[in-house]
Structure 1
Amino acid sequence: MDDLKITGLRTRAVNVPLQYTLKTAGGTIATVPLVLIDLLTDANVTGHAYVFTYTPLALKPIQSLIDELGAVVNGLPLAPFEIDRVLNARFRLLGHTGLVRIATAGIDMAAWDAKAKAHRLPLVELLGGKARPIPAYDSHGMDDVELGTKRARDALEAGFKAIKTKAGYATLERDLEVIRAIKQVTGDSVELMIDYNQGLSVPEARRRGRALEAEGIAWIEEPTLQHDYAGHASIREALRIPVQIGENWFGPEDMQKAIDAQACDLCMPDVMKIGGVTGWLKASALAEQHGMPMSSHIFQEFSAHLLAVTPTAHYLERMDLAGPILDPVLRFKDGNALVGDEPGAGIRWREEEVSRFLV
């Protein structure tokens, strides 16, 4: 079982619909462009993963890059840490970030999925952990009052005890109006997180953050440009609300820079951008070392397994981007994510639906 080798790689590009258009202070996402990855092995076990390209413009470049990397990993042992070493070395001169990191992370996730399936174990058990309920929050867009309150009611009825909504309207007064309307629905028993998606200047983030302190907000996320760690540190120093960042860290090295700058109270790596399962494990060690609560960003299927082996696990983000093309293996009950006992990470393509949304 430990001498398995990779024998091939297949990719498909799809663009799937969203139930609700995802409006943010940084732009609007109307559809979900994904590259689906099937990693083949000589044991007739196939690993599945997907990467999210944010814009359809990046679909074909990322798909092409993953296809090219198929030749690099073909014949390698199904050993994710060794694959990570090989790919890191390959891109040392070019730089292992951006689209390159997305492509290699997709292969890493598929390799871990295949390895767990080969051992007939859920990914969490292959990683040495045990499946357990993971607290989850329902993640919403910049929905304004009517839709924002409707989605809050739906989340409460579904059992969620935490909700995130996006803000960054034209005025602070509008932010407060929307947030207070949602709080009227949720009451004080539900945690409410606010995500600004990098939409504010540092002075404006401090101003709006101070106004939010009286609203009982659980965290304020990416209030200013994600790479401005000094700016985030000054916002953090000015506010009593915890500052959350991390979804745009490309690799654990970015996370270390943010920690060194004291830019955040909380962290939420994105399993794709941080470097796949292997990158997540490195980030988890950093979070433990610094006592930093660690949440996930999208990719809920893999994230539920990874948070179960994360010592400082905080929240899973429930945002079902790939739902239209996946069988619903991951379940949510009483505000928790439940992975079940299926081997791998729980990625099963609904092939008929995949065919509908092929690009």
Structure 2
Amino acid sequence: MPDDRIDRVRLSLAFLPLAAPAGGKAPAGHRPPLTEVAFLFAELGTVDGGSGLGFSHAMHAGGPALYAHAKELAPRLLGEDPNDIGRVWEKLVSSAASAGRAGLATQAVAAVDVALWDLKARRANLPLAKLLGAYRRAVPCFHTPSGLPTTPLPEVVDSAQRALARGVGGIKVTVGQPDVAADLERLRVVRDRLGDGVPLMVDANQQWDRATALRVGRVLERLNLVWLEEPLDVHDVDGHAALAGALDTPVGAGELLTSVDEHGRLMAAGGCDHVQPDAPRVGGITPFLRIMALADQHGLGLVTHFAPELHVHLAAAYPRTAWVEHVDWLEPLFEERLEIRAGRLVVPDRPGLGLTLSAQAATWTTDRLEFTETA
């Protein structure tokens, strides 16, 4: 396409309030419950009138830092060919090399990277999943009734039953109380109330040491879990590998990792049966596709974290077992809604991500800035 270039970049920072506090992934006591999520939005335009929308997110802290870093990088996008997504990703990351190739530096780039892929799929008049090469039209999804292990059990069961009635395909229960016996009783009741036919997952939120994880993991074998998630500190690769080798229950990990390299080390060590990347957290769709290729090579399942509006497309393009986390937090940010059917999230048939920012999103926006080519 002759003279195809980006001629405008709009950035915005929004804080999405949560209807109820949610838990965090840090060890107990390190962070208060989550009450809002910061979003960095990137909207790109091209000389031929094309457009793409992307986003990244930060929980507990980091939203203003994402926005500040994106503002530094945005002018370097002007004049770039939007088709050269890999080269643009490398340019932005390399131009801020002193800030590193993981964490906030690449998470700011993620919003732009997602927007570039959205633009590419919109131009092709294809959903992003089909542009990437979809293996399925709908992806199994699971719901977490509460991110807090201390949420009263009746609330957890009620939320789980409502999610199943809505069509969700599995339930993930958060544990990690100081009293392990209380966690085990909690899980026993949930399994009893939901029945043996409901796919059940358990998220330990990195709360256990190696000995506890092995001891509790052996007890949990009788619950026939789909996976046991983050039983140890996410960076304890050797511990995860030892545990995955000792248990029949599959182990899931990775949602807090922030790069291809970190996920690669986890997979190479045999530290998980299901890898759980978060596209904005690892730097966007471009690095996420590299993680998917590694996961396929290692024969692993894929479980995406957060932002199902984005991840349903990526999971649909994974050749092996894939699950998407059903999180309805982002719904107020967009005009469109995902469809749940028979335990699966349906891949939207709209071009690109199929998303449009809502009017409500503007009310939560605290800052915005636009960059355009000068004549």
Which residue of the partner structure matches residue 22 of structure 1?
A: 22
CA contact (8 A) 1:25 1:169 kept: no
Per-residue Cα deviation, 1:237-256 (whole angstroms, up to 9, x for no partner): 33221110111222221111
CA distance in 2, matches of 1:3, 1:282: 29
CA contact (8 A) 1:152 1:185 kept: no
**Equivalent in 221, 232, 237 of residue 245 of structure 2:** 237
Per-residue Cα deviation, 1:148-170 (whole angstroms, up to 9, x for no partner): 11111101211222111211012
CA distance in 2, matches of 1:165, 1:358: 32
Instruction: Trace 1:46-125 onto structure 2 (pairs within 5 A).
Output: 46-55=51-60, 57-79=61-83, 80-125=85-130
CA contact (8 A) 1:270 1:297 kept: yes
Which residue of the partner structure matches residue 187 of structure 2?
A: 179
Give the letter aligned to residue 40 of structure 2.
V
Q: CA deviation at 1:198?
A: 1.4
Which residue of the partner structure matches residue 154 of structure 1?
A: 162
Q: What secondary structure sits across from 1:165 in the alignment?
A: strand
Per-residue Cα deviation, 1:13-67 (whole angstroms, up to 9, x for no partner): 2212223321246342122221222122222222112211102x31111111111
CA change 1:43–1:165 in 2 (3 A) is farther
Q: What secondary structure sits across from 2:365 in the alignment?
A: coil
Which residue of the partner structure matches residue 279 of structure 2?
A: 271
CA contact (8 A) 1:158 1:334 kept: no
Q: CA deviation at 1:129?
A: 3.0
Which residue of the partner structure matches residue 200 of structure 1?
A: 208
Per-residue Cα deviation, 1:51-94 (whole angstroms, up to 9, x for no partner): 11102x31111111111110122211002122123234324454
Aligned length: 357
CA distance in 2, matches of 1:50, 1:223: 29
CA distance in 2, matches of 1:30, 1:116: 33
Is 1:191 aligned to residue 199 of structure 2? yes
CA distance in 2, matches of 1:325, 1:334: 25
Calculate percent identity across the aligned residue pairs: 29
Give the letter aligned to residue 295 of structure 2.
A
CA change 1:264–1:347 in 2 (3 A) is same
**Equivalent in 319, 332, 338 of residue 324 of structure 1:** 332
Which segment is superposed worse, 288-297 or 233-242? 233-242
Higher relative contact order (CA 8 A, sep 6+): 2
Give the letter aligned to residue 324 of structure 2.
L
Is 1:213 aligned to residue 221 of structure 2? yes
CA distance in 1, matches of 2:47, 2:337: 26
Give the letter aligned to residue 109 of structure 2.
T
CA distance in 2, matches of 1:35, 1:87: 16
Q: What secondary structure sits across from 1:30 in the alignment?
A: strand
CA change 1:185–1:2 in 2 (3 A) is farther
